[in-house]
Structure 1
């Protein structure tokens, strides 16, 4: 479950900056976004801590918080994964590392069928799919 928060951190990094930033700066940006989206979506302090603990969301407000984050960083659009947005983000964050960009593209493409009429549930399904797809490829975002 560590993959989501680190993926979100990576995406937050590129969602806020055209230039490379440190992992620590990305984490701070993610925390700021999480707090903003938690307030907007009614997520609790426990929901935020769950995200910081690198777990998939377990409550509806937590799922909505993640939907908010995903929409703000261009990760999700219209209750579906935004593959083109993910590829654009991957190109920026991975500094045109072709292998990492291809892996990110493959993972995003694998999850295109994940959707739901509810944006919060859609986000949760996409996140679960991406964690599973990354894990099946032996991807650890801890190293990215």
Structure 2
């Protein structure tokens, strides 16, 4: 199964962790709605949004701001700080009390939560990249949406 380090982060920092499943249709719809809101808030281009949905790394600061906006919109980031409890709650909401998922969320948080950058968008991108690397290091395949 795939790991969704849910937008954690997508959704986080953008998606937390599952064990080898694609995002459900319901999650894709929710993600699309959140991306549409962030597109407006962050004044993103269609190219930035398209790159995100294709699983391509953002090429612009605005593209990185999409990640930040998504993390903030699901409560994973508040006032620039990772909200650990929100990550676990999001993981439980998406995948139930799956110990593998909760363990992976903990691994991601331990390895990535201390990443900082003065720019919120750069920081979100760095944390997302760290989450993806952490998931892969543990032998799991992140979803395409986890840039």
Q: CA deviation at 1:25?
A: 1.0
Gaps of 5+ in 2: 17-22
2:129 and 2:29 map into 1 onto residues whose CA distance is: 23
What residue is the counterpart of 2:112 in the other structure?
Answer: 111
More helix per residue: 1
How has the CA–CA distance of structure 1 residues 76 and 38 changed in structure 2, closer, same or farther, with 3 Å as cutoff? same
1:117 and 1:41 map into 2 onto residues whose CA distance is: 18
1:7 and 2:9 correspond = no
What residue is the counterpart of 1:95 in the other structure?
Answer: 96
Deviations 1:57-113 (A, max 9, x none): 221111112111110101222323322211121122221011211111111221012
Q: CA deviation at 1:10?
A: 6.2
1:114 and 1:35 map into 2 onto residues whose CA distance is: 27
Aligned residues: 133
Gaps of 5+ in 1: 15-21
TM score, norm. by length of structure 2? 0.79
SS at 1:7's partner residue?
Answer: coil
1:70 and 1:10 map into 2 onto residues whose CA distance is: 6
What residue is the counterpart of 2:19 in the other structure?
Answer: none
1:87 and 1:3 map into 2 onto residues whose CA distance is: 14
What residue is the counterpart of 2:121 in the other structure?
Answer: 120
2:141 and 2:15 map into 1 onto residues whose CA distance is: 17
1:52 and 2:53 correspond = yes
TM score, norm. by length of structure 1? 0.80
**Counterpart contact for 2:11–2:70, Cα < 8 Å:** no
Alpha carbon RMSD of aligned pairs, Å?
Answer: 2.5
1:69 and 1:109 map into 2 onto residues whose CA distance is: 21
Between 1 and 2, higher relative CO (CA 8 Å, sep ≥ 6) is seen in 2
